[in-house]
Structure 1
Amino acid sequence: MAPARPPVLHRFANPGRFLRATGRLLPWLGGAAILVLAIGLPWALFLSPPDWQQGETVRLLYIHVPMAWLAMGGYAGLALLSVASLVWRHPLADLAARELSPVGALACFLCLVTGSLWGKPMWGTWWVWDARLTSVLVLFFLWLGHAALVRAFDAPERGARAGAILALLGALNLPVVKFSVDWWNTLHQPASVARLGAPGLHVGMLYPLLVCALGFTLAFAALVLARTRAAVMERRIRALQLAAARRLDRPEVSPGSAAA
């Protein structure tokens, strides 16, 4: 017997209810993302002050830092979806995880690319095998591995189960990414926003960074919801097509032939 689903999760287990709820939410979410990014990106890229040490290269961090947060937070969400799939057999958790992994991989890729572009003028090299950089690279491979694994099986259930197990094992890398700058003597600087005491950034740079982070988070959520909605509708269409094909393949028995 499958474990009982929690009531809150069970409410959204119905695909029709999920489509109706997200259909109302998605336009507002997408509109809010566009509005916040329309404010945050010009503020960060053109109006915020240059850093006294980094100069204009600090503007890369307005994209790099939110992408790093999304790569880690998104993977934590992937692990939670994997728990919902393995423990409660939530029917939408597999679809949401499947559609989340390419978006998370993109965020992690942008994090690595912008960090490399920033590192060249600041560190004098595109890449170093620093503990933080290496653990983020491992996170990127975990995102790609999940995206490939869930699509590698003919039976979607087998791919979803294998991907869920990989996601839970890969979640062990998240503390390494977070605390690597504290555990080891790394080239990467420690946290300057989410730390005890006052942030290490001037408010002229902190506020546009937070606005950009909010905008990218809203866009990330809207993209994942849109992909999940499309996957749900695709599955429903396939189910209808399969049912129609079965009806066509089933021979019709006339009353006369039945009597004979």
Structure 2
Amino acid sequence: MSFGDLISILFFIQDEVFIQIDEDIQRHNELLDAIQKSPSEVGQIVARRRKDFTKEFFVHLHTVAESYYDNPTEQNAVAKLRSECLAAVEAYDTATENIEALNAAELKLQDIINSPSVDAACRKIDNLAEKNQLDSAMVLMITKAWSAAKESNMMKDEVKDVLFHLYKTARGNLQRLMPKEIRILKYLLTIEDPEERMSALKDAFTPGEELEGQDIDSLYTTPEQLHTWIRTVVDAYHFSREGTLIREARDLMNPKLVQKMEELKKTIQDQFM
């Protein structure tokens, strides 16, 4: 191959790259134009064209916004549109994940209900927990089924008993999947009396045999580990990073509980570290 042939090939590749880039930009601009024409319908556009809202598209939006360096009004408008698109995509993805989770949970529940006996059904729940496939969507479905049965006058007592048994089994398994520090923390937050809370803290930091039951647990950890978990939750609250928490800890994200956790954190620092 001559040098001239090599140059020709390089120019050909370069042209192909430019063509691809140009096509990508045209596609991004077309999507941006559609959004700008109907800014109130961003959610609907995302639902129709989710695959077009790529990382490259958002990079393009950032580039477009930066290009208006001499026009702050237009720059802010594009930046705002970019934020709205990000929020719409996140909402769409979350909803899709939730639907998929509920569909999967429904199939699992159907399989459990079709078990030949209560023991077999409970074993299936235990197996799901062992495989880390017993999620909150699954437990929610079982809880709703049990709740509906409990309040119904049309359902036989045997069916209610079965659903209650499944509910207790699922709830117990989900509880055991929760990190023990979160379980200890949630228990400590239920104690109002300072002396009783201090006693519970001492118990939590005293090594011993760990027992786990559906209603009562005997668990222990170290001051450093519990302090780390508390700090993680509190920091997530203050810096609005709820999404960084495991789902079992997200129900701790409210002002009153955070205030209690701040007090607990200080107590652990002062008394145990």
**What range is the shorter-chain TM-score in?**
under 0.3
TM-score relative to the length of structure 1 = 0.26
TM-score relative to the length of structure 2 = 0.25
Question: Which gives a bigger RCO, structure 1 or 2 (Cα 8 Å, sep 6+)?
Answer: 1
